[in-house]
Structure 1
Amino acid sequence: MFGLFSLIVPALGLLAVSPVRAANTADIVSGAAWTDTDGNVIQGHGAGILKVDSTYYWFGEDKTANSALFHAVSCYTSPDLTTWTRQPDALSPVAGTNISSNNIVERPKVIFNSKNDEYVMWFHSDSSNYGYAMVGVATASTPCGPYTYKSSWKPLGADSRDMGLFQDDDGTAYLLYASDNNVDFKVGLLDDDYYNITSVASEIAGASLEAPGVVKRDGVYYLFGSHTSGWAPNPNKFFTSSSLTGTWSTEADIAPESTRTWYSQNAYDLPLGTNAIYMGDRWRSNLLGSSRYIWYPLDWSSGSPEVIHADVWTVNLDAGTWTVVNGTSYEAEDGTLGGSAVLSSSSAFSGGQTVGFLGNGGTVTITVQGAGTSQWVALYYSNGDSTYRNTTVSVNGGATTLVDQPDSGGGSVVISVPVLLNLNEGSNTITFGANQSNYAGDLDKIIVYDS
């Protein structure tokens, strides 16, 4: 969930916003700070999703401490993928083991074993310096557990770092894992208990692939994943195969390569009707607890899977469909420039121009139409730095809200971040860059979404 990763900070602190729209329609807004039903920011990084009956279970890494070290595997429940309730932790540190609070536990994934009537969790199990490169397994009698830790080890004696699970239609289960110091990617067949690997079913040698997930569609297996660039994003890819024990195709992009999958890394891929939902992380390495979630429709209408960039969208689980929420676009160059703000031209920008030198004296004010309620406004901008920038946002001359702007991957690459603003019915002015000493990203346009 993270248009892209957006940390929304008003003058006095963090403004945590729910993915539920003000008009009570369930929206998914990638990049916002999602909150649970208690109002706490969701801590479910490296997500795994399990559906049991009509309930969805979201397992993830709790990064409240802003550390890579193991704090907890969280468990959230939802009837609709948008309203999430935190349950007691699924897995907690165990002193003196490989899942102590001084170790690493990442990318938890859970599947149900009907033979043993048991839920089985697999995860990346490692030392604090990522020197162990193991998998770990824990089991429970209920979806959220608590889970009982079994052990950690190297599958078939080889490394395992980023990993995922896939359970086929016949109940056969597979471990998807980055192996051999992240050089090779492997698919391992699990035993009937789902406790161990019996063999390597297939391999992509030299792939340097991590953050994997698999979707089966019309008899074809689609493997999704990123390449290895630490916490920084890169263009996620997909591979295809007619069998998990066969050979895999060459890689192809799921999003425009320059966007680095809209600044995200794959975590889980959830089937939705004839398509799927791409569930990714936007990691913030120096503030891991504020890493956001990027969930987008994953669409096959072109014949190949494609991430649909949608700032605000809804999902109909019964129909297995998704809908992008309507919005009105306003070009930044049509606003009123102030101070040192200047126009720059590039064919990469939607109207051919962008407003630069915002902040440090430069501003742009855009007049928009509002509905008299809280509305999502997506800022489309370019940030060619290798670090975050931010911009202030003020509605009708009121207090400023600070919106973080992750680096976009290049000076002509445009990405978006959402902010929830209170707009009057009728005409409103939105000013960007006022009362800040640093420079913001270059603003291309904004989209004001219907309430």
Structure 2
Amino acid sequence: MPQGRGALVVLAVLAGLVVAPPAHAAAVTVSNGTQFTDTTGAAVHAHGGGMIKVGDHYYWFGENRNADNTFRAVSVYRSTDLRTWEFRNNVLTQSSAAELNVANIERPKVVYNSSTGQFVMWMHKENGSDYGEARAAVATSATVDGNYTYRGSFRPLGHMSRDITLFRDDDGTGYMISAARENADLHVYRLTPDYLGVNSLVHTLWPGSYREAPAMFKRGGTYFLLTSGATGWNPNQQKYATASSVAGSWTSPVDVGDSTAYGSQTAHVVPVQGSQTTSYLYLGDRWAGAWGGRVNDSQYVWLPLRFPSATSLAMSWTPQVGIDTATGVVTGVGSGSAYETFVARHSGKCADIPSSSRADGTAVKQYGCNGGANQQWQLQDAGGGHHRIIARHSGKCLDVGDSSTADGAAVAQRTCNGGSNQQWQLQDTGGGHHRITARHSGKCLDVTSGSTADGAVIKQHSCNGGGNQQWTRRAA
């Protein structure tokens, strides 16, 4: 081939590469209070996790537990749109090191060290049977989703270390934040230049305040630190504080969200930077331990953060979140409350799981409203205008037994399975009341015989417009 012609061909090819439009993820909607699934349909196990963006992909690391809640792996998934998750690897497992054979690894977080070319993971390490070790652990990899080399565990500068997070500042300085002194204190450490160890203790924040589940991020010139109270698996009031520098003075913590963070606990805050804006997305865990379940049964709560001013933070409930990673726009979708009570119109009494039972097959009855979690329900989108109705105290679904279509068929709580007999449509009947109809049968949730007594059984029955088939939805 003549040299001049070859050069033209090369230039043409290069020109084609230059003008080829970049691939952008489409806008998506993520449903809250659910167990996410990956591209194979398997549950995403990234509990207590953190997220890092590399190229066009967001990589989500988190806890993956055995059936007895001990450590199985740190799993990583990737996505371009924050909804479609591809499983990539179990980057750290029980076989990665001898001391991980019987252990608990919690809250893994990863940052990239540009000077060493290493992805560095920090995590909270325990012995698998109690919380007596209270150690930090470190692992590294040359690739974000490769097998991480375990570097060991220790107590930073001799201090206990439990719930943990990482933050990389704009100048490359690394920080580790962890709960210390039986969770009474929150320590902020400056890391060594390679991020593998602790250089110094920068702050002991709010001694004696019992804060955990830290998540730090920077917006503009303001640093935000979001934390949870220490109440075990049960959710509580999240608070935030601000500072003009990590090493500077931090404000006193201020409440954000409702009194239970909408049934969740802080895991991470991820910036979603796009062509129009940078949004900040709260990633929370709705721990199954609150209803006696396993860590791997836990659900996720994601909510957009709002900033009324440069130094203030707000978070509200929406049942879904709209995410456009191309533009950076993240918005709440829909309305309603994180949990609701259903009050029968004819009796003024609440749909109730008696004695707060967590057992499959426990019949739903009406009782005087008392604010208990066994009278609180989460609506989870099931598509086509239908919802799963999930008991807060047990995490189980409102279910018509054996998928019966008969009048009088029992309605009870059962483990959620995706069946149409666990899907319900709420139809407005006016005056703030609703019919609740089963998808598989088209029949109404009904208080038997219109009884007004405590303990009256709730079943399905052909819809007839009666007050015993109309329900008022009240925010819990």
Structure 1 counterpart SS, 2:212: strand
Give unpaired runs (5+ residues) of structure 2: 1-25, 355-362, 368-381, 429-434, 439-443, 449-454, 460-469
- Counterpart in 2 of 1:288? 295
Give the distance between the partners of 1:151 and 1:357, measured in 2 at CA. 47
- Counterpart in 1 of 2:18? none
Q: Which of 296, 305, 313 is equivalent to 1:298?
A: 305
- TM-score normalised to the size of structure 2? 0.70
Q: Where do residues 20-419 of structure 1 align in structure 2 (5 Å cutoff)? A: 26-63=28-65, 65-94=66-95, 97-100=98-101, 102-128=102-128, 129-204=130-205, 205-257=207-259, 260-272=260-272, 273-285=277-289, 286-301=293-308, 304-326=312-334, 342-344=347-349, 359-360=363-364, 374-375=384-385, 377=387, 387-388=393-394, 390=396, 392-393=398-399, 402=413
User: Structure 2 vs 1, CA of residues 378 and 190 (structure 1 numbering), >3 Å: closer, same or farther?
Assistant: same
Contact 1:362 1:433 (8 Å CA) reproduced: no
Give unpaired runs (5+ residues) of structure 1: 1-23, 345-353, 364-371, 406-418
Give the distance between the partners of 2:426 and 2:203, measured in 1 at CA. 58
Give the distance between the partners of 2:162 and 2:298, measured in 1 at CA. 20
User: Structure 2 vs 1, CA of residues 317 and 332 (structure 1 numbering), >3 Å: closer, same or farther?
Assistant: same
Give the distance between the partners of 2:265 and 2:204, measured in 1 at CA. 21
Is the radius of gyration larger for structure 1 or structure 2? Answer: 2
Contact 2:32 2:321 (8 Å CA) reproduced: no
Contact 2:343 2:351 (8 Å CA) reproduced: no
Give the distance between the partners of 1:123 and 1:334, measured in 2 at CA. 45
- Counterpart in 2 of 1:10? none
| CA shift digits 1:35-91 (9 cap, x unpaired) | 11111111110111010010010100002x233311100010111110101112011
Structure 2 counterpart SS, 1:193: coil
Q: Letter of the aligned partner of 1:343 in structure 2?
A: G
Q: Letter of the aligned partner of 2:127 in structure 1?
A: S
RMSD: 3.8
Query: How many residues matched?
Result: 380
Q: Letter of the aligned partner of 2:236 in structure 1?
A: N
- How far has the Cα of 1:374 moved from its partner? 2.6
- How far has the Cα of 1:355 moved from its partner? 5.6
Q: Letter of the aligned partner of 1:190 in structure 2?
A: L
Q: Letter of the aligned partner of 1:116 in structure 2?
A: T
- TM-score normalised to the size of structure 1? 0.74
Contact 2:227 2:266 (8 Å CA) reproduced: yes
Give the distance between the partners of 1:439 and 1:157, measured in 2 at CA. 57
User: Structure 2 vs 1, CA of residues 446 and 25 (structure 1 numbering), >3 Å: closer, same or farther?
Assistant: farther
User: Structure 2 vs 1, CA of residues 289 and 184 (structure 1 numbering), >3 Å: closer, same or farther?
Assistant: same
Give the distance between the partners of 2:309 and 2:181, measured in 1 at CA. 35
Are positions 1:445 and 2:473 aligned together? yes
User: Structure 2 vs 1, CA of residues 396 and 250 (structure 1 numbering), >3 Å: closer, same or farther?
Assistant: farther
Give the distance between the partners of 1:210 and 1:145, measured in 2 at CA. 29
| CA shift digits 1:367-420 (9 cap, x unpaired) | xxxxx9633537598x6xxx4375525699589795779xxxxxxxxxxxxx99
Give the distance between the partners of 2:91 and 2:229, measured in 1 at CA. 29
User: Structure 2 vs 1, CA of residues 199 and 389 (structure 1 numbering), >3 Å: closer, same or farther?
Assistant: closer
Contact 2:397 2:422 (8 Å CA) reproduced: no
Give the distance between the partners of 1:357 and 1:162, measured in 2 at CA. 34
Give the distance between the partners of 2:233 and 2:286, measured in 1 at CA. 9
Structure 1 counterpart SS, 2:261: helix
Give the distance between the partners of 1:200 and 1:311, measured in 2 at CA. 40
User: Structure 2 vs 1, CA of residues 438 and 67 (structure 1 numbering), >3 Å: closer, same or farther?
Assistant: farther
Contact 2:318 2:335 (8 Å CA) reproduced: no
- Higher RCO (CA-CA < 8 Å; seq separation 6+): 1
Which deviates more, 392-401 or 206-215? 392-401
Structure 2 counterpart SS, 1:289: helix
User: Structure 2 vs 1, CA of residues 106 and 444 (structure 1 numbering), >3 Å: closer, same or farther?
Assistant: farther
Give the distance between the partners of 1:213 and 1:373, measured in 2 at CA. 33
- How far has the Cα of 1:362 moved from its partner? 5.0
- How far has the Cα of 1:95 moved from its partner? 7.2
